[in-house]
Structure 1
Amino acid sequence: MFGKLCGIDEAGRGPIAGDLVMAGCILNLQVEGLNDSKKLSEKKREALYELIIKAASFHIVKFSPKEIDDNGISICLKRGLQEIMKNLKCEEYLFDGNSNFGVSGLPTMVKADGKVAEVSAASILAKVTHDRDILIEAKKYPEYQFEKHKGYGTALHVEMIKKYGYCEIHRRSYKLKALEPTLF
């Protein structure tokens, strides 16, 4: 029976730039081919995204780099989980990972995004939303080449920060050893 479980996942917890995106998803119809978004090609994620939004009830929450810097990633995750649970009513919830960030009544499961269809669907909604948003930012800040690294702290991204400094979508609370001044 569909509609009994709301799967929840996030994308963009680790990058040093861009939004944290969280998605909750209740499947009303079966969607074939679901899996952990990281295990799918961009083309496959995009195709599944379109199927999911037609076959599901969902809620997407975004936290800006400023919100992450001001509140911390854990507080943002907790608020996102609470907002999803408030907006998507169902019998059960399941969050991918090993922490519910203090949200009572929220079970977790490591690698649920590859095991549970609703969490896989949430994973895809969050990842596609995150990646689409970062591509918009890439047009505003072409010098950082966000389209290549999606905001993650790759060698290329670190080199661009060294060259141009931080821009508006960087998380300043995320410290990178490669950007710290050396003492010698």
Structure 2
Amino acid sequence: MAREGVSALRVVHGAALARVAGVDEAGRGPLAGPVVAAAVILNPQRRIRGLADSKVLSPAERARLAVLIRSRALAFGVGWADREEIDSLNILEATLLAMRRALLALPVPPTRVLVDGNRCPCIVDLPLACPLKAIVAGDATVAAISAASILAKTCRDAMMASLDACYPGFELSVHKGYATPAHLEALQYREPSPQHRRSFRPMKADGEPLTLPGQET
């Protein structure tokens, strides 16, 4: 799977705007698929109503807002780390790598970066000279981070739908790789796909049998 980010830029004639980028990720917890990050610089002259943490929005509302973000934001970028990188680095470092790639995908450099959570990606070696700040629950309180969470989530969901067509039988487009009972049951009877994270249980080779929810002893 390609890991290059995608980006877009809106030019506002005569506007001198502070380019504050919000950054968030989607896909840290699933058993399969990439972790995806987005960076969004909102345009204060083209406000988007209804921005919120992607987790509290319905799929239809996320899709609607994602279209508005892409059309109204001053700039956006998306980057990801694939399954192999997650397993070789660990999920935290892979998430920070995806965030770096999202920032690099921005067509203009931000003047400030606000990151959801308690860790910021290292950018000292990148062509970005701006301060970064981590904000716990920023996806619920900072509009640019909310926009990034929506864009990351919708992009990852689209990726998982494509992977579902490549690896049928796991219903990746339904649960997006998360550890639902149906997903765990499928892993009881099928070999993990190349998109399943080998460093995550139940794929992790720790000698322990897979236990479904409700079957704990």
TM-score by length of 2: 0.77
The structural deviation recorded for 1:181 is 2.8
Residue 53 of structure 2 corresponds to residue 36 of structure 1: yes
Residue 116 of structure 2 corresponds to residue 96 of structure 1: yes
Q: Which residue of 2 aligns with 1:51?
A: 68
Contact 1:149 1:157 survives alignment (8 Å): yes
Once the two structures are overlaid, the 10-residue window that deviates more, 98-107 or 56-65, is 98-107
Match of 1:63 among 56, 81, 96: 81
Contact 1:3 1:26 survives alignment (8 Å): no
Greater per-residue helix proportion: 1
Does the C-alpha gap of structure 1 residues 52 and 68 become closer, same or farther in structure 2, counting only changes over 3 Å? Answer: same
Report the AA paired with residue 145 of structure 1: E
Cα RMSD (Å) = 2.2
Structure having the higher Rg:
2
Contact 2:192 2:203 survives alignment (8 Å): no
Alignment of 1:135-174 (within 5 A): 135-174=161-200
Contact 2:34 2:83 survives alignment (8 Å): yes
Report the AA paired with residue 42 of structure 1: P
Match of 1:17 among 7, 25, 32: 32
The structural deviation recorded for 1:87 is 4.2
The structural deviation recorded for 1:101 is 5.0
* Structure ranking higher on relative contact order (CA contacts 8 Å, 6+ apart): 1
Provide the C-alpha distance between the structure 2 equivalents of 1:102 and 1:90, rounded to a whole number of angstroms: 15
Contact 1:3 1:27 survives alignment (8 Å): no
Contact 2:39 2:78 survives alignment (8 Å): yes
Q: Which residue of 1 aligns with 2:208?
A: 180
Structure 2 unmatched ranges of 5 or more: 1-15, 125-130, 211-217
Partner deviation per Cα, 1:78-111 (whole Å, 9 max, x = no partner): 3233333444312211111122255674211111
Partner deviation per Cα, 1:19-57 (whole Å, 9 max, x = no partner): 100000001221111100011000010011111001110
Find the residue that maps to 2:198 and give its secondary structure: coil
Does the C-alpha gap of structure 1 residues 162 and 15 become closer, same or farther in structure 2, counting only changes over 3 Å? Answer: same
Percent identity among equivalent residues? 36
Residue 96 of structure 2 corresponds to residue 81 of structure 1: no
Length, aligned pairs only: 182
Q: Which residue of 1 aligns with 2:128?
A: none
Find the residue that maps to 1:107 and give its secondary structure: strand
Report the AA paired with residue 93 of structure 1: V
TM-score by length of 1: 0.89
Provide the C-alpha distance between the structure 1 equivalents of 2:99 and 2:152, rounded to a whole number of angstroms: 13
Contact 2:40 2:77 survives alignment (8 Å): yes
Report the AA paired with residue 74 of structure 1: L
Partner deviation per Cα, 1:98-127 (whole Å, 9 max, x = no partner): 222556742111111111110010000000
